[in-house]
């Protein structure tokens, strides 16, 4: 028998999926452009960072142009590669160009998993995260596969964790599970929510030696 929390979360996921699928192509483009502008103007991204991102799908806020813009601005970007054998497991890899990306079994582009390109979660300075819903305490609800739940627990204490979402994905409160990890920030088309301003306490990189 499902618990009350499980029933609530399943219902919320289904509702958010329906709302997201109902977003028109034009509204998706406008929302994506606004979120992209807010991310690129983030004060913590004024210098090059090691960023974990993702390739958007299923009417999510678009990240493809954002990913391209971040690399052009000097950031090092890593994208997830879903394990073909272990459920709920993914690793992150950097890549040299978008032409390297290959479709996985879900038709999502991934970088080739070259060992020398592997980035372990503790190395990330920023992680951009997809979501289905969030609340004003920074609680996040994902798709339910557990991929990000496992990754978030491995991040360093100084990594800035940023969710990307539509405005309608904000809900009053999310009933959390023991394994849930809160976000530091969420960026939507009209708001930049900050729950934990970590970058105020993070040291800038020292200048490279000559």
pLDDT per position as a tens digit, 118-177: 999 999 999 999 999 999 999 999 887 778 888 989 999 999 999 999 999 999 999 887
pLDDT of 24 higher than 80: yes
State residue 207's pLDDT score.
38
Angle at the Cα of 113 (from 107 to 119), degrees rounded to 5? 115
- Amino acid 84: pLDDT: 82
Q: Please, which pLDDT band fits residue 205 given cuts at 50, 70 and 90? A: very low
**Least confident among 14-18, 38-42, 106-110:** 106-110
Tokens linked to 64 = 């493809």
Residue 6 three-state SS: helix
Burial class (CB in 10 A: 0-12, 13-18, 19+), 42: middle
Q: What angle do CA 203, 71, 161 make, to 5 degrees?
A: 50
- Per-residue pLDDT tens digits for 50-59: 999 999 987 9
CA angle 128, 10, 179 (to 5 degrees): 55
Residue the block writes with tokens 């929510």: 193
For residues 174 and 131, what is the distance between their CA atoms, to the nearest angstrom? 12
**Contacts for 143 with CB less than 8 Å, ≥ 6 apart:** 13, 130, 132
Q: What is residue 98's DSSP assignment?
A: G
3-state secondary structure (DSSP) of residue 146: coil
Q: What is the pLDDT of residue 1?
A: 52
pLDDT of residue 176: 81
Among all chains, which residue has been given the structure tokens 């306490």? Answer: 201
Per-residue pLDDT at 208: 38
Confidence of residue 3 (pLDDT cuts 50, 70, 90): confident
Q: How far apart are CA 74 and CA 125, in angstroms?
A: 14
Q: What pLDDT is stored for residue 85 in this prediction? A: 81
Identify the band that residue 204 occupies on the pLDDT scale cut at 50, 70 and 90: very low
Q: Are 97 and 72 in contact (CB under 8 A)?
A: no
Instruction: Pull the structure tokens for residue 45.
Output: 């991204």
Local confidence band at 83 (pLDDT 50, 70, 90 cut-offs): confident
Summarised one tens digit per residue, pLDDT across range 99-112 is 899 999 888 999 99
Angle at 104 between CA 78 and CA 84, to 5 degrees: 90
- pLDDT class for 200, splitting at 50, 70, 90? low
């Amino acid at each position: 028998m499902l618990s009350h929390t499980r029933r609530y979360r399943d219902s919320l996921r289904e509702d958010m999926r329906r709302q997201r699928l109902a977003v028109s192509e034009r509204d998706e483009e406008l929302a994506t452009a606004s979120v992209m502008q807010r991310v690129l103007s983030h004060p913590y991204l004024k210098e090059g960072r090691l960023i974990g991102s993702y390739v958007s799908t299923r009417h999510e806020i678009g990240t493809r142009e954002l990913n391209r813009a971040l690399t052009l601005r000097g950031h090092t970007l890593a994208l997830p590669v879903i394990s073909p054998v272990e459920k709920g497991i993914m690793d992150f890899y950097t890549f040299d160009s978008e032409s390297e990306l290959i479709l996985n079994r879900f038709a999502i582009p991934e970088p080739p998993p070259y060992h020398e390109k592997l980035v372990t979660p503790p190395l990330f300075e920023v992680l951009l995260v997809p979501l289905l819903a969030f609340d004003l305490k920074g609680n996040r609800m994902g798709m339910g596969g557990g991929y990000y739940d496992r990754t978030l627990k491995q991040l360093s204490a100084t990594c800035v964790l940023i969710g990307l979402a539509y405005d309608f994905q904000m809900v009053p409160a999310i009933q959390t599970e023991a394994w849930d990890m809160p976000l530091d920030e969420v960026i939507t088309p009209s708001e930049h929510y900050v729950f934990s301003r970590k970058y105020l306490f993070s040291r800038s990189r020292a200048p490279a030696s000559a």
